[in-house]
């Protein structure tokens, strides 16, 4: 079996005669032609150090920042680097065409993640203010109930694809609730969001469908605000226009959806394929939140983020960076930088210094939402399906990879069939009850449980002159289960129920 690389990725299967990495002018590597980006990142690190020159589509030059410290310096130095692509030299020189595949990611937009200075404070202040109104106790309860409802769709089958049937649905259900459009959540919205993010031939139409949904939401909340993120964006003192509200709703929806879908898939896959990981979870040595953080180190939801731009001539990682140069923020290679992780097998429990959510002024404002969805969703799924197992060999799993992210295509699993469960109940893994045998007519005497107060009492029969009290039936099956006294939950049990959201 092929051995995984430093990133834990199995080597890609290259067609005979295909070069492992495409080379362009000046012998620079084309990122978009690489079949194994993890291996390429390590090759670039060895050749150039923590900052390396590369090429994008159409041989557009770009720097990729591989080092952990260098990435942190870049995102935390707004006086030197910004996210306003209008100063990008290749764009100003006409080298980046309007139909360039990466333009949707790089093109400047009037949103907080591209703004600077006072405008950035105004827009980000509105987003952060809206997010600060989220009641995370109620949110965790909603995530738990949404997980229950989604698992109910396939729990009786004994098999499922956890990507197509779970990880692509739970984040959308939760984000629709947060934004204020829970009624819009359905399979079509999930498919449209996935299609728009994949960049297929129908991506533009799918994107338009999502934007129409967000436009209708903005109009409704402008007329009648409610208790949701869209309403708080509209009523915030920053006085966002309808276009600004809609664009930020799009940013929150797409970014949170893609990142959390990848995070959920990565955490579940790690639990399924790594016996040590599963044993630690079952043995109580590693909580689900700790498992999530470990996954954020090993497989961040976004491999790279487009992009940062140099506002002045500077130096980074031993490279001379000119004004107008573009740089890729790269959490994936930064998280495995040998200077911060010399031993990739070492546990990272309690360490949140990974770059999965960025840093500096543009650090992801919704990271706590993503963590909550992953924490509660994975925990509730494992409570419902404790015996879930991968239903294929690890090397049979397929991924769709791009410069920006790596997305698991499917995750076939099997488990013992379980009955649907009331979404308001605590998740459990009771087996599907067997069909009861009903007998009509006379037959062997069967013990019957004593009637309850809700059942009609049988008519009294003539009795002897001196009736004797009858003993209870001896057969244990004849008696209903005795009710145990309700024990008061200890502090730890109460905390777990609060944490899990039920």
The Cα-based distances of 455 to 371, 451, 452, 458, 500 in angstroms read 49, 6, 5, 9, 38
Exposed, middle or buried by CB within 10 Å (0-12, 13-18, 19+), for 289? middle
123 Cβ contact list (under 8 Å, min separation 6) = 110, 111, 112, 115, 238, 240, 244, 248
The per-residue pLDDT for 499 is 56
User: How many structural domains compose the chain?
Assistant: 1
- 294 lies in some domain: yes
- Are 146 and 264 spatial neighbours (Cβ–Cβ below 8 Å)? no
The per-residue pLDDT for 200 is 62
- 475 lies in some domain: no
- Residues 270 and 273: their CA atoms lie apart, in Å, by 5
- 11 lies in some domain: no
Q: Which DSSP letter does residue 26 get?
A: G
Closest CA to 297 of 326, 332, 269, 339: 332
- 290 lies in some domain: yes
The per-residue pLDDT for 188 is 85
- Residues 277 and 336: their CA atoms lie apart, in Å, by 19
Which two structure tokens, joined as six digits, stand for 319?
Answer: 């490279």
- Residues 286 and 277: their CA atoms lie apart, in Å, by 8
- Are 413 and 159 spatial neighbours (Cβ–Cβ below 8 Å)? yes
Q: What is the CA radius of gyration of the chain?
A: 28
The per-residue pLDDT for 479 is 46
The per-residue pLDDT for 296 is 94
The per-residue pLDDT for 392 is 94
- 57 lies in some domain: yes
Instruction: Describe the crossing of helices 367-384 and 288-298 by its angle, rounded to 10 degrees.
Output: 120
Return the ∠ at Cα 97 (arms to 94 and 98), rounded to 5°: 125
Q: Residue 49: left (phi > 0), alpha (psi -120 to 50), or beta?
A: left
User: In 346-450, where do the E strands start and end?
Assistant: 389-390, 399-401, 406-408, 412-414
The per-residue pLDDT for 182 is 86
The Cα-based distances of 177 to 141, 185, 227, 501 in angstroms read 12, 8, 11, 16
The per-residue pLDDT for 193 is 84
Measured in residues, the chain has a length of 502
The per-residue pLDDT for 1 is 45
This prediction has a pTM of 0.79
- 465 lies in some domain: no
The per-residue pLDDT for 98 is 84
The per-residue pLDDT for 194 is 80
pLDDT tens digits in sequence order for the chain, 502 residues long: 444 555 655 444 433 334 444 788 888 999 988 888 999 999 999 999 999 999 998 999 999 999 999 999 999 999 999 999 999 999 999 999 888 888 877 888 889 999 999 999 999 999 999 999 999 999 999 999 999 999 999 999 999 999 999 999 999 999 999 999 988 888 888 888 888 776 667 777 888 898 999 999 999 999 999 999 999 999 999 999 999 999 999 988 888 888 999 999 999 998 888 877 777 767 767 788 888 999 999 999 999 998 999 999 999 999 999 999 999 999 999 999 999 999 988 888 788 999 999 999 999 998 999 999 999 999 999 999 999 999 999 999 999 888 888 889 999 999 999 999 988 877 776 665 554 443 444 444 444 444 444 444 444 444 444 444 444 444 444 444 444 454 556 655 555 555 555 5
| CATH classification of the domain holding 395 | 1.10.630.10
Domain interval for residue 34: 25-343+357-414
Q: Is the C-alpha dihedral spanning 56, 62, 66, 72 positive or negative? A: negative
- 185 lies in some domain: yes
Taking the chain, what is the end-to-end CA distance rounded to the nearest angstrom? 43
The per-residue pLDDT for 491 is 57
Name the 3-class secondary structure at 321.
strand
- Are 397 and 408 spatial neighbours (Cβ–Cβ below 8 Å)? yes
The per-residue pLDDT for 432 is 55
- Are 463 and 469 spatial neighbours (Cβ–Cβ below 8 Å)? no
The per-residue pLDDT for 444 is 43
The per-residue pLDDT for 270 is 86
- Are 217 and 249 spatial neighbours (Cβ–Cβ below 8 Å)? yes
The Cα-based distances of 100 to 30, 200, 263, 393, 411 in angstroms read 15, 14, 28, 38, 32
- Residues 362 and 240: their CA atoms lie apart, in Å, by 19
Exposed, middle or buried by CB within 10 Å (0-12, 13-18, 19+), for 212? exposed
- Residues 256 and 320: their CA atoms lie apart, in Å, by 34
- 455 lies in some domain: no
């Amino acid at each position: 079996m092929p051995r995984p690389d430093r990133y834990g990725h199995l080597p890609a299967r290259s067609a005979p005669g295909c070069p492992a990495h495409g080379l362009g002018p000046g012998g620079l590597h084309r990122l978009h032609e690489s079949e194994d980006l993890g291996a390429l990142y390590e090759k670039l690190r060895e050749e150039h150090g923590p900052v390396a020159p590369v090429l994008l589509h159409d041989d557009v030059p770009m720097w990729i920042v591989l080092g952990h410290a260098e990435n942190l310096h870049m995102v935390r130095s707004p006086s030197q680097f910004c996210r306003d692509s209008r100063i990008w030299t290749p764009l100003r020189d006409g080298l980046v065409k309007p139909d360039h595949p990466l333009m949707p990611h790089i093109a400047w937009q009037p949103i907080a993640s591209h703004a600077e200075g006072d405008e950035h404070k105004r827009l980000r202040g509105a987003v952060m203010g809206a997010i600060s109104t989220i009641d995370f106790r109620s949110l965790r309860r909603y995530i738990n109930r949404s997980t229950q409802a989604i698992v109910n769709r396939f729990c009786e089958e004994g098999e499922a694809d956890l990507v197509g049937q779970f990880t692509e649905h739970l984040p959308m259900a939760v984000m629709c609730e947060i934004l204020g459009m829970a009624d819009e959540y359905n399979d079509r919205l999930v498919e449209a969001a996935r299609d728009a993010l994949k960049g297929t031939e129908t991506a533009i139409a799918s994107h338009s469908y999502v934007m129409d949904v967000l436009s209708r939401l903005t109009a409704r909340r402008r007329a009648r605000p409610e208790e949701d993120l869209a309403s708080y964006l509209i009523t915030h003192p920053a006085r966002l226009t309808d276009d600004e509200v809609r664009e930020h709703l799009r940013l929150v929806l797409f970014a949170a959806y893609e990142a959390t879908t990848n995070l959920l898939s990565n955490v579940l896959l790690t639990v399924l394929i790594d016996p040590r990981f599963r044993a630690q979870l079952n043995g109580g040595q590693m909580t689900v939140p700790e498992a999530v953080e470990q996954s954020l180190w090993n497989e961040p939801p976004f491999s790279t983020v487009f992009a940062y731009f140099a506002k002045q001539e500077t130096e980074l990682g031993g490279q001379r960076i000119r004004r107008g140069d573009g740089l890729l923020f790269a959490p994936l290679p930064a998280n495995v930088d040998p200077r911060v992780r010399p031993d990739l097998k070492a546990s990272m429990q309690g360490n949140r210094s990974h770059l999965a959510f960025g840093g500096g002024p543009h650090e992801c404002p919704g990271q706590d939402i993503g963590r909550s969805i992953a924490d509660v969703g994975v925990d509730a799924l494992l409570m419902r399906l404790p015996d879930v197992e991968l239903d294929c060999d690890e090397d049979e799993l397929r991924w769709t990879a791009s410069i920006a992210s790596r997305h698991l295509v499917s995750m076939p699993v099997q488990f013992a069939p379980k009955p649907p469960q009331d979404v308001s109940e605590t998740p459990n893994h009771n087996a599907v009850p067997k069909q009861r045998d009903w007998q009509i007519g006379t037959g062997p005497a069967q013990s019957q449980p004593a009637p309850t107060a809700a059942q009609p009492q049988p008519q009294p029969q003539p009795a002897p002159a001196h009736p004797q009290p009858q003993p209870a039936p001896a057969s244990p099956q004849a008696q209903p289960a005795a009710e145990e006294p309700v024990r008061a939950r200890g502090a730890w049990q109460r905390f777990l129920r609060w944490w899990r959201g039920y």
